[in-house]
Amino acid sequence: MTTNSLYISALPILPPSAQQHKCRRSIRNSHSSNNKAMVVPAAAAPECGRRDAAAAAAVFCLRGRGVVVPTVDMSAPAGRGELSRQVARACAGSGFFRAVNHGVPPRVSAAMDAAAAAFFARAAPEKQLAGPPDPLGYGSRSIGANGDVGELEYLILHASSDAVARKASAIDREDPRRFSQVVNDYVESVRQLACHVLDLLGEGLGLRDPTSLTRLITATDNDSLVRINHYPPSCAAAGDYKSGGGPAPTAAIGFGEHTDPQILSVLRSNDADGLQLLLPDAAAAAGDSVWVPVPPDPSAFFVNVGDLLQALTNGRLVSIRHRVVAGTGKPRLSTIYFAAPPLHARISALPETVAAGAPRRYRAFTWAEYKRTMYTLRLSHNRLDLFHAGDGDGDAGVGDDDDHE
């Protein structure tokens, strides 16, 4: 198995056709203005010009009505200082970017793909031996315990090598050590990429200790996870979406609208499309909520800000809402590394992000407290809204909570 080595400096997404605009005008006229949503379809387009390419490394680039997904070259061709600024701008402007020249060996990604494909190719009774998800393990269709469903099956593992080894015998009964080695190699490589991104963010944000974010996910008792999603082929077509972000009758939701709760997510997929981002309000045209399809690139990793990082930076970085739409006619396989702190870690706005003109937005909480709240809510809930700051909240900072939950 080989990975796609295609390198694209920016991924342009063109506007819909005139007929699609006409259809959407009809939809907009039939619903209230605060519930409008549309999909900007991906299509081939000429590369952005030099000024647009610079914008593509920072935020969603609007070119006419087209959109370009932010892309960052992690090899730092313009130097580390410029790279740190690009990463910080991308995470502040869109909460998401495509990382190229990232340093993860193709053989590591290919081995992970092969191991995942082999597991999902097994008969259902065999796969179910690795479940049910509690929340770790194998699951199908049901996402969480609050009624969310999607057209997928998945495997969730704790990222620690010991936890992977304990689960491996139910996943690869022929050679559990083989599966453990593949996952551990992948986790180590992608964790290094996540640490590199967080160190760059620390520098780009001007933190007094640029490594403070990285230390949260490298603690020996960190709560990081690996999630492998398999979206089987669907005969439903990914089409237009009606108001409120709900699917049209011909579309199938693989994984519903949500933000990621952890600090940082690092995703890689095969060459099947389906991932869509909700364009930030500032970039959405004419007040519409715009879903942006992300063209797949198996040679790249896609990095997005999680809820905890938004809270740690006092809202300067954005936890972007996203979803997966099934219906491409071919299976989609994606692996996501969720970088998380220890359960007892205290999450509070870093001192450098709080000022007279930028008061604290969220109260301090632990990751354990946030997880408990998350498990009581539906997938699409704006979880951070429940943690807004009030008068008399504690000092800004990041560290361990005294309760050590």
Kindly state the average pLDDT of the residues 200-221.
Answer: 97
- The pLDDT tens digits for 25-77 are 332 333 333 345 667 654 433 345 444 444 445 555 555 444 678 999 999 99
Confirm whether 28 is domain-assigned.
Answer: no
Helix (H), strand (E) at residue 192: helix 176-204
Distances in Å between the Cα of 238 and the Cα atoms of 87, 141, 153, 275, 346 are: 31, 18, 19, 11, 41
Confirm whether 131 is domain-assigned.
Answer: yes
What pLDDT score was predicted for residue 289?
Answer: 72
Q: Does 105 have pLDDT greater than 50?
A: yes
Residue at token pair 């199938």 = 252
Mean pLDDT lowest among 181-190, 235-244, 266-275, 359-368? 235-244
- The pLDDT tens digits for 146-176 are 889 999 999 999 999 999 999 999 999 999 9
Is the distance from CB of 151 to CB of 231 less than 8 angstroms? Answer: yes
Kindly state the average pLDDT of the residues 329-342.
Answer: 95
What pLDDT score was predicted for residue 393?
Answer: 56
Cα–Cα distance measured from residue 347 to residue 339, given in angstroms and rounded to the nearest whole number: 14
Torsion of CA 314, 317, 323, 328, to 10 degrees: -170
Gyration radius from the chain CA atoms: 21
**Which SS3 state, helix, strand or coil, does residue 15 take?**
coil
Confirm whether 210 is domain-assigned.
Answer: yes
Amino acid in position 294: V
Provide the percentage of residues in the chain whose pLDDT is more than 90. 66
Residue 285 pLDDT grade (very low, low, confident, very high; cuts 50, 70, 90): low
Q: Which two tokens stand for residue 133?
A: 């998800």
CA angle 283, 37, 258 (to 5 degrees): 80
Q: Which residues of 37-66 are buried (b: 16+ CB within 10 A; e: fewer)?
A: bbbbbbeeeeebeeebeebbbbbbbebeeb
- What pTM does this model have? 0.82
Distances in Å between the Cα of 40 and the Cα atoms of 24, 67, 168, 253, 304 are: 11, 8, 41, 17, 20
Cα–Cα distance measured from residue 139 to residue 156, given in angstroms and rounded to the nearest whole number: 8
Confirm whether 26 is domain-assigned.
Answer: no
What pLDDT score was predicted for residue 233?
Answer: 82
Specify the higher pLDDT residue, 251 or 169. 169
Averaged confidence pLDDT in the chain: 81
Confirm whether 123 is domain-assigned.
Answer: yes
Distances in Å between the Cα of 72 and the Cα atoms of 9, 10, 15, 95, 130 are: 8, 9, 23, 13, 37
Q: Does 302 have pLDDT greater than 80?
A: yes
Per DSSP, 77 falls in state T
**Which SS3 state, helix, strand or coil, does residue 56 take?**
helix
Cα–Cα distance measured from residue 315 to residue 371, given in angstroms and rounded to the nearest whole number: 19
Cα–Cα distance measured from residue 136 to residue 226, given in angstroms and rounded to the nearest whole number: 10
Containing domain of residue 224, as a range? 65-236+250-387
Is the distance from CB of 331 to CB of 233 less than 8 angstroms? Answer: yes
Is the distance from CB of 195 to CB of 264 less than 8 angstroms? Answer: no
CATH number assigned to the domain comprising residue 232: 2.60.120.330
Pairing of strands 345-347, 398-400: antiparallel
Residue at token pair 């991924």 = 11
Specify the higher pLDDT residue, 393 or 28. 393
Residue 235 pLDDT grade (very low, low, confident, very high; cuts 50, 70, 90): low
Helix (H), strand (E) at residue 185: helix 176-204
Q: Does 7 have pLDDT greater than 90?
A: no
Confirm whether 273 is domain-assigned.
Answer: yes
Domains identified in the chain, total number: 1
- The pLDDT tens digits for 175-189 are 999 999 999 999 999
Kindly state the average pLDDT of the residues 88-109.
Answer: 96
What pLDDT score was predicted for residue 19?
Answer: 31
Confirm whether 158 is domain-assigned.
Answer: yes
Kindly state the average pLDDT of the residues 232-258.
Answer: 61
Kindly state the average pLDDT of the residues 200-224.
Answer: 97
Distances in Å between the Cα of 327 and the Cα atoms of 240, 252, 337, 345 are: 12, 6, 24, 40
Cα–Cα distance measured from residue 160 to residue 294, given in angstroms and rounded to the nearest whole number: 30
- Of 368, 367, 342, the residue nearest 221 (C-alpha): 342
Q: Does 283 have pLDDT greater than 90?
A: no
Kindly state the average pLDDT of the residues 380-395.
Answer: 80
Q: 225 - beta bridge partners?
A: 158, 338
Cα–Cα distance measured from residue 236 to residue 253, given in angstroms and rounded to the nearest whole number: 10
Kindly state the average pLDDT of the residues 327-334.
Answer: 84
What are the backbone dihedrals phi and psi of residue 200, each rounded to the nearest 5 degrees, phi first?
A: -65, -40
